[in-house]
Amino acid sequence: MSKKRVLSGIQPTHDSFHLGNYLGAIKQWVDLQKEHDAFYCVVDLHALTVETDPKLLEKRTLLSAAQLIAIGVDPKLCTLFIQSHVPAHNQLAWVLECITGFGEAGRMTQFKDKSQKGGADRTNVGLFTYPILQAADILLYQADFVPVGEDQRQHIELTRDLGQRFNTKYKEVFNIPQAQIIKSLAKINDLQDPNSKMSKSAASMAGVIELLDSPEATIKKFKSSVTDAGKEIKYDEKEKPGISNLLTIHSAFSGKSVKEIENEFAGKGYGDFKLQVAEVVVEALNPIRVKTQELMDDQGELIKILKSGAEKANQVAGKTLSDVYTALGLINNG
């Protein structure tokens, strides 16, 4: 039986990924590449919706690829590439835009949040069509599963709707994908504001654990994390969102169950617990930081890996795009 196909992407909008990206998405990417035909991309075109200095975008795109490999995304097991290296993403996005309702795109909550924050004058059209480009990323590869965090669920729903709509209107070209979301890790929260998700665009980075932070900075952030009234180390999302978030993080890195950790810390204080979580995380992140730097020291090799990924991605994406064009009645120029 042929392997199921997986596709996912991540934006290169910052120097470092954070723990939410790692636990909600990248950890799954690493696991899924073993038994699946996996395609993973750094979505540099999506990052253009936020104005960035070109030199910085270039650096962050490479840093993103380096971090993915350092975490365990293995270019020998999967296809790792940069979105802009595969022109079919933009080409299919246009086609999908033509079957997307204006109101439908306007209902995307990420667009609503971001455009409300920025105001109408600072909201670009790219932000509005962003989820449609994302749908193109996924549908081009005939993906079965899309490993993501909870915040992407609505975008995957839109992808499914657009794929189905095209199939019904024109021809059965697309496989209809499913979001793959691990419930316990789907929303890692900010350490300073444990009711909000950890986010690259947080107003303050004090509650955002970045993978490339120094050990000292990581420990400091954990030590000053916001906890809850009471003294008990117990998982209770409603009453103890801060402690619950820390328990989730500890469990994901240590491999211990939440119950085991609760028992280990019975009778101990929040201070001891926070320090232990910090240590577990620092131990896991140290090798990632070192490996990322090594990869960045040999950018020629990194670019070679990404180009080879793009070659394979272009083949798969090109075939789907060609089927789409034929189905639409566009004259084949091949």
Question: Which is nearer to ligand TYM, 243 or 252 (by Cβ)?
Answer: 252
User: For ligand TYM, what does the binding mask look like between residues 188 and 227, x meaning CB under 6 A?
Assistant: x--------xx-----------------------------
Q: Using alpha carbons only, what angle is made at residue 279 by residues 273 and 283, rounded to the nearest 5 degrees?
A: 155
**Distance separating alpha carbons of residues 274 and 268, to the nearest angstrom:** 11
Q: Tokens 């690493």 identify what position?
A: 30
The pair of three-digit structure tokens given for residue 179, joined into one six-digit string? 């979001």
Question: Which is nearer to ligand TYM, 10 or 302 (by Cβ)?
Answer: 10
Question: Which is nearer to ligand TYM, 61 or 134 (by Cβ)?
Answer: 134
Residues that contact ligand TYM, how many (by CB under 6 A): 25
74 within 8 A of 33, measured Cβ to Cβ: yes
The pair of three-digit structure tokens given for residue 8, joined into one six-digit string? 């996912």
Of 27, 114, 187, 274, which is the active-site residue? 114
Of 59, 197, 234, 312, which is the active-site residue? 197
Only one of the segments 118-126, 150-158, 285-293, 323-331 lies at the binding site for ligand TYM (rule: CB under 6 A); that segment is 150-158
200 catalytic? Reply is yes
Residue 15 annotated in ligand binding: no
| Cα–chain center distance at 204 | 20
Q: How many CA atoms lie within 13 A of 68 on its CB side?
A: 34
CA-based max dimension of the chain: 73
Which amino acid is it at 185? Answer: L
Which member of 16, 67, 84, 134 binds ligand TYM (CB under 6 A)?
134
Residue 21 annotated in ligand binding: yes
171 catalytic? Reply is no
**Distance separating alpha carbons of residues 96 and 133, to the nearest angstrom:** 8
Only one of the segments 1-9, 91-99, 209-217, 236-244 lies at the binding site for ligand TYM (rule: CB under 6 A); that segment is 1-9
- For the bound state, the minimum distance from the C-beta of residue 126 to ligand TYM, rounded and expressed in Å, comes to 13
- For the bound state, the minimum distance from the C-beta of residue 316 to ligand TYM, rounded and expressed in Å, comes to 14
The pair of three-digit structure tokens given for residue 143, joined into one six-digit string? 């993906």
Among positions 154-193, residues that touch ligand TYM (CB under 6 A) are 155, 186-188
Should residue 309 be labelled a site residue for ligand TYM when binding is judged by CB under 6 A? no
Should residue 25 be labelled a site residue for ligand TYM when binding is judged by CB under 6 A? yes
Question: Which is nearer to ligand TYM, 8 or 265 (by Cβ)?
Answer: 8
**Distance separating alpha carbons of residues 205 and 231, to the nearest angstrom:** 26
Residue 20 annotated in ligand binding: yes
Should residue 11 be labelled a site residue for ligand TYM when binding is judged by CB under 6 A? yes
59 within 8 A of 21, measured Cβ to Cβ: no
Question: Which is nearer to ligand TYM, 79 or 265 (by Cβ)?
Answer: 79
34 within 8 A of 77, measured Cβ to Cβ: yes
Residue 236 annotated in ligand binding: no
259 catalytic? Reply is no
First to last CA, the chain: 32
Radius of gyration of the chain, Cα coordinates, nearest whole angstrom = 21
Only one of the segments 5-13, 165-173, 261-269, 325-333 lies at the binding site for ligand TYM (rule: CB under 6 A); that segment is 5-13
Which member of 5, 16, 24, 289 binds ligand TYM (CB under 6 A)?
24
Helix intervals (H) in 48-124: 54-71, 88-97, 102-106, 109-118
Beta-strand pair 178-180/37-42? unpaired
**Coil, strand or helix: which one is 41?**
strand
Question: Which is nearer to ligand TYM, 265 or 306 (by Cβ)?
Answer: 306
The pair of three-digit structure tokens given for residue 197, joined into one six-digit string? 């998700």
CB neighbours (10 Å) of residue 138? 29
Binding stretches for ligand TYM (CB under 6 A): 7-11, 20-21, 24-25, 43, 46, 134, 137-138, 146, 148-149, 151-152, 155, 186-188, 197-198
Active site members? 114, 197, 200
State the binding site for ATP: 11-13, 20-21, 149-151, 188, 197-201
